[in-house]
Amino acid sequence: MLSRVADSIYWMARYIERAENVARFVDVNQQLALDLPVGLEEQWKPLVAITGDYADFTARYESATKENVIQFLVFDSQNPNSIASCLRAARENARSIREIISSEMWTEINHFYLSLQMAGPSRALESPQFFAEVKRSSHLIEGVTNATMAHNEAWHFNVMGRSLERADKTTRILDVKYFILLPAVGDVGTPVDDLHWSAVLRSASGFEMYRKRYGRLLPPKITEFLILDREFPRSVNYCAMQAEESLHAVTGTPLGTYRNGAERRLGQLVSELAYTDIGEAIAHGLHEFLDSLQAKLNDAGDEISDKFFAVKAYSQ
């Protein structure tokens, strides 16, 4: 496989997943805003922090109002992590590998992009269905990809890109909840705290699966579920294992061994998660633990790029 093809399909998957995750954050936050007695700044500022673009936002917007945050996260072409920017980059990557992906994939990606172009800030603000449609489009692309594309090297690069992006966003929503979303220490264990933890689970589409597994909303269990669960498809551990399996399927190296930096980085991350005790992680500092996970995910992504990709025209 040409390195430019691997690069394009890897980043196509990352950008589509990134767009979906932004839609998740905004959608859940809009619902949460109806239930919480907090100011607009406290309600919307954390969404910008999740993406890591807070400095860029404050440089161009006066305050973190609902309108400003949605414009920045959804339609702002100067924000490389906005939904509009992500879909533009995903479509361009898909266009460059039309001969590799299925026609059904291209149709759905193109439709996703054009649908957003026809929408506008007013619809995002007024229609509760807007962000649900963004999520559905992403799910449809993932389903069509799995159903119509040969599960060969190209498909595995798609899995790697989607899995690493998904794992990164799960760590970010947990980190923001732990440090920003809780209004006051006195709210710990109150209904307000439960609303926040419910929102965290809903952001990862994990509310129902968590309740079936654990029942009560317990912060340590929620944290364990979203980081270490081996069966929930949006947990960090599950995503890391998926990325590692696809990487080894491409290289042919047996699992548990490594021949390059990418395999070593992902293998170390999967092993660390397999032996992590969430109680110890929380006791030693959850923020530091999540920050370390994000750094390791970034390192793994960098190693994949260095090993396989020669062209990075649309990578972020």
In whole angstroms, what separates CA 180 from the centre of its chain?
19
Q: Could you give the percent of the chain with pLDDT greater than 70? A: 90
pLDDT at 314 (0 to 100): 47
Q: What is the band of 187 on the pLDDT scale with cuts at 50, 70, 90?
A: low
Q: Identity (one letter) of the amino acid at 138? A: S
Q: How far is CA 74 from CA 18, 48, 51, 79, 124, in A?
A: 11, 11, 12, 9, 8
Q: How far is CA 196 from CA 8, 217, 252, in A?
A: 37, 10, 43
pLDDT at 267 (0 to 100): 97
- Determine the Cα angle at 216 with ends 132 and 39, to 5°: 55
Nearest-angstrom CA–CA distance, 66 and 44: 6
Q: Kindly tell me the number of DSSP H helices and DSSP E strands found in the chain.
A: 15, 0
Contacts of 58 (CB under 8 A, 6+ apart): none
Nearest-10 Cα torsion for 131, 221, 216, 209: 50
State whether residue 91 is helix, strand or coil. helix
pLDDT at 81 (0 to 100): 93
Nearest-angstrom CA–CA distance, 101 and 190: 49
Residue-range domain boundaries for the chain: 3-308
Question: Taking Cα atoms as reference points, which of 140, 132, 153, 135 lies closest to residue 105?
Answer: 140
Nearest-angstrom CA–CA distance, 27 and 45: 14
Question: Taking Cα atoms as reference points, which of 114, 118, 133 lies closest to residue 26?
Answer: 133
Is the pLDDT score of 159 beyond 90? Answer: yes
Of 21-25, 43-47, 96-100, 296-300, the least confident: 43-47
Per-chain mean pLDDT for the chain: 88
pLDDT at 122 (0 to 100): 78
Is the pLDDT score of 9 beyond 50? Answer: yes
Question: Taking Cα atoms as reference points, which of 152, 160, 163, 166 lies closest to residue 101?
Answer: 152
* Residue keyed to tokens 């890591």: 52
Is the pLDDT score of 229 beyond 90? Answer: yes
Tokens describing residue 156:
């595995």
Q: What is the band of 127 on the pLDDT scale with cuts at 50, 70, 90?
A: confident
Start-end of H helices in 204-235: 207-214, 219-228
Is the pLDDT score of 74 beyond 70? Answer: yes
Q: Identity (one letter) of the amino acid at 172? A: R
pTM of the model: 0.90
- 158-184 average pLDDT score: 83
